[in-house]
Amino acid sequence: MDFDLTPDQRAVRDTFARFADQRIAPQAAAIDEAHAFPRALFGELAALGLFGMRYPEEVGGTGMGLTEFCLALGEIARGSMSLAGAAAMQSLMGTKFLHMLGNADIVERLLRPALRGEKIGAICMTEPDAGSDLDGIATAARKVDGGYLLDGQKTWVTSAPVADFFTVFARAGAGKKLTIFLVERTFTGLAVGRPIHKMGVWALPTSEVAFDSCFVPDSHRLSREEGDGEGHLRRTLAEIRIITGAMALGAGRAALAAARRYAAERKQFGKPIDRFQAIQFKLAEMATALEAATQLVYYAAWLRDHDRPHHKEAAMCKLNASETAAMVCDQAARVLASYGYAMEYPVQRYLRDVRFTLIGGGTSEILKLVIAKEVTG
């Protein structure tokens, strides 16, 4: 994908493409099978400046656009969706609200180190009875002298087992509206549960987080006012959807490349199977669908970078890219046939991991409702 990319954008893409090929891909299977957070590669991404891409220089970032970040993240996902998921959490959801709303102490003590990869952030939104339904969030923050007491349970918290701090959405004030708090791992009353065992992204630890009268000082209420959390979240959600689309493209590209290699090498009836029309049609459909999804993702990123309306396009690109990538990974497994089911080939990992992108940033069903609302007014 080279359409309208600047020389700097191509340089970003090429840098992370080399990193994916030389550093991530050779370790991806071992990382996955170890079910352990890939700290070494995480640190190398920090050294490449990934975590600070979307932040200004005054807080330790490089002030790049969403397009550059998507180019980088897509290449990382091509190598390992687990690592891409950890990078996305660190670069956006886990640190965004610290930059937007944090005081000078929070910026110096937590945000800057996080952008250097020295501390890890996570975000706590989903609850056992509240996923897509933000109105169902029940975690409560009760005002006390000098701060708040948080009570409640969060689940599906990405990076929670390794996180140093958590951005938490809880209900506060007379209106019981969503308010954003920053909870450090050392705070009394916070408990991180055991990792949730998942079918994919095995190296991306996910767990429940519980708050039992967890005291959060006033300085750690990130919201400017009680109840402004939903507005801040909705303004960030479009970026989350666009980068999730970029990650899906990475998995799809990896699966297509694996299918092409296998089809060129595997022989049946005296010739490589990519000489058979049935396989050629599969590869053609996979490549075409990925190209269309790529155009939509980067159009949405371009709109965001140019401060144009992009919420509908963000939902569209995430819906299309994740569903397309899931189809491509499935078709790649069919091209490999029995070997698409074998752990020694990476296609099974792509097929497992791509489902992560079907959920993060909103399910396909929720995104269709979002798009329909925009289309019908």
The beta-strand segments (E) located in 80-230 are: 121-124, 140-144, 147-158, 165-172, 177-184, 190-195, 206-217
pLDDT digits (tens, 9 = 90+) for 198-256: 999 999 999 999 999 999 999 999 999 999 999 898 889 999 999 999 999 999 999 99
Distance of CA 301 to the CA centre of its chain: 15
Q: What per-residue confidence (pLDDT) applies to 262?
A: 97
DSSP structure string for 209-247: EEEEEEEEEGGGB-SSSTT-HHHHHHHHHHHHHHHHHHH
Round to whole Å and give the CA distance between 317 and 111. 29
Contact criterion met (CB below 8 Å) for 92 and 304: no
Calculate ∠ Cα 323-324-330, nearest 5°: 90
Residue 45 identity: L
pLDDT digits (tens, 9 = 90+) for 329-341: 999 999 999 999 9
Contact criterion met (CB below 8 Å) for 12 and 72: yes
pLDDT digits (tens, 9 = 90+) for 108-153: 999 999 999 999 999 999 999 988 888 899 999 999 999 999 999 9
What pTM was estimated for this model as a whole?
A: 0.95
Phi-psi category of residue 313: left, alpha or beta, with phi > 0 → left and psi -120 to 50 → alpha: alpha
